[in-house]
Structure 1
Amino acid sequence: MSKPDTRPASRSRPSGWSRTVRLVRLRLIRAARGKWAVPALFVGSFIDSTIFPWPVALPLAAQMLRGRRFVFPAAAAAALGSILGGLLVYTLARLAFDAIAPMIVDDSGAAATLSDARARIETGGALAVFAAMLTPVPVQLTSLAAGLAGVGGVWFALAITLGRGLRYFAMGLVLYAVGDRIVAGWLWLPRWGRWLLIAFFAALFVWLIALSF
């Protein structure tokens, strides 16, 4: 009498389309979490402080939440990109304001914001620049206003370095301390809850981008 076949039933192999989708998804994940993640934060932060403001804090937080060893390299990349971008706008404001103003001050609202920022900086000097760098005020407008207000180059460089460095590294310290709890809370959520949260942050990202135009 032959023995019954006790081997587990073989699982059906995924279709070619399923394998392709899975492969593409894995490649996208690797690209987002690979060696280019930190350089991408630098470039994104540079763009945020020169061409147009955008919510760089969202991808920065996502990178920091990957683990504690990612926190401070990400903070350093974002801070460096913001500082160099601000220094570029400040230098151009001192040398060629008429050439760059149309690229930054493109409507009456931006012009009014620039005028207010310039008035504050003319009164407070480098301390006003430092304070502005800690707030959501667009970096390029503050840098432009500082150049027009005649803030000294050394003082501006010191103010933007301390301000942007403090902003991003303070964020890093917070996520270094509680990032594991945030990730644990994310894993605790059911799948529908995760998708709902992803949709919320995606909508927030798009809304903040729209506000920058």
Structure 2
Amino acid sequence: MVTPLGIMQKYLDKLWRVSESQGALRVLAAVSFTESIFFPLPPDLLLIPMALAKRKQAFRLAAICLFTSLLGGILGYGIGYFFMDVVGMPIIHFYGLDDKYLVIKEWYDTYSAWAVAAAGLTPIPYKLCTLTAGAFKIDFWVFIIASTISRGVRFFAIAGLIYMFGEQARYFLEKRFDLVLLATLILGIAGFVVIRYL
């Protein structure tokens, strides 16, 4: 009988294998890029084990996450700006967030692209903000600055903690990574729930 714990452990084992593979950097970059547009899982799930495996490269890995996330954000912004009806709305519809489209507009009317900064630091789906930022014609450079700050703080905080605490962080995460993974997934789901029921 397949249990939730068994599924989690199987996924965890696969995640560790990916983080140690030769193509891990490409996978990390791809996940970080696509998460800004449509992919549901955050790059943190790969950044953590990869930084633990190569502690001295933790900040480099965080930089890769930031750079590719911004590239994805720019593409998401462009999709929202030019192709919201054709491409952007189907993505929002897929996640069941159609009714939150105008709620996000209110956020932008009040906070401009700084609402993106909040999304970058919270479980609220970043992809939702990139697409709508373009759709509502938010100032592009404010969008970039807000995204850089929020995503940078997020990724470099993870890298910094792993770099500073090293083996302690590794020991804790190796013993409790299933809980960390579960917590990250719950936060991701919570972001969709929060935005859906605002």
TM-score by length of 2: 0.75
Q: 2:144 aligns with which of 157, 167, 185?
A: 157
Give percent identity, aligned residues only. 29
After TM superposition, give the deviation of residue 86 of structure 1 in Å: 1.1
1:36 aligns with 2:14: no
**1:118-170: per-residue Cα shift (whole Å, max 9, x none)?**
21112111222222222111111011221222211222122212221121112
Q: Larger radius of gyration, structure 1 or 2?
A: 1
2:111 match: 124
In structure 2, runs of 5+ residues without a counterpart are: 1-14, 193-198
Q: 1:154 to 1:168 in 2, by over 3 A?
A: same
Q: 1:59 to 1:119 in 2, by over 3 A?
A: same
1:113 match: 100
Comparing 107-116 with 150-159, greater Cα deviation is found at 107-116
Written as runs of structure 1 = structure 2, the 5 A alignment for 1:1-213 is: 32-106=19-93, 109-185=96-172, 194=175, 197=176, 200=179
Secondary structure at 1:133 match in 2 = helix
2:4 match: none
After TM superposition, give the deviation of residue 84 of structure 1 in Å: 0.9
1 or 2, which has the higher helix percentage? 2
Provide the aligned C-alpha RMSD in A: 3.0
Contact 2:31 2:42 in 1 (8 A): no
Contact 1:38 1:73 in 2 (8 A): no
**1:68-114: per-residue Cα shift (whole Å, max 9, x none)?**
21201211111122111111011111112111134311158412333
Indicate the structure whose relative CO is greater, using CA pairs within 8 Å and at least 6 residues apart. Answer: 2
Contact 1:93 1:147 in 2 (8 A): yes
Contact 1:115 1:145 in 2 (8 A): no
2:5 match: none
Give me the whole-angstrom Cα distance separating, in 1, the residues matched to 2:187 and 2:173.
23
Q: 1:184 to 1:32 in 2, by over 3 A?
A: closer
After TM superposition, give the deviation of residue 204 of structure 1 in Å: 6.1
Comparing 110-119 with 30-39, greater Cα deviation is found at 30-39
In structure 1, runs of 5+ residues without a counterpart are: 1-27, 188-193
Give me the whole-angstrom Cα distance separating, in 2, the residues matched to 1:105 and 1:114.
8
1:19 match: none
Secondary structure at 2:93 match in 1 = coil
Q: 1:108 to 1:89 in 2, by over 3 A?
A: closer
Q: 1:31 to 1:147 in 2, by over 3 A?
A: closer
Contact 2:37 2:130 in 1 (8 A): no
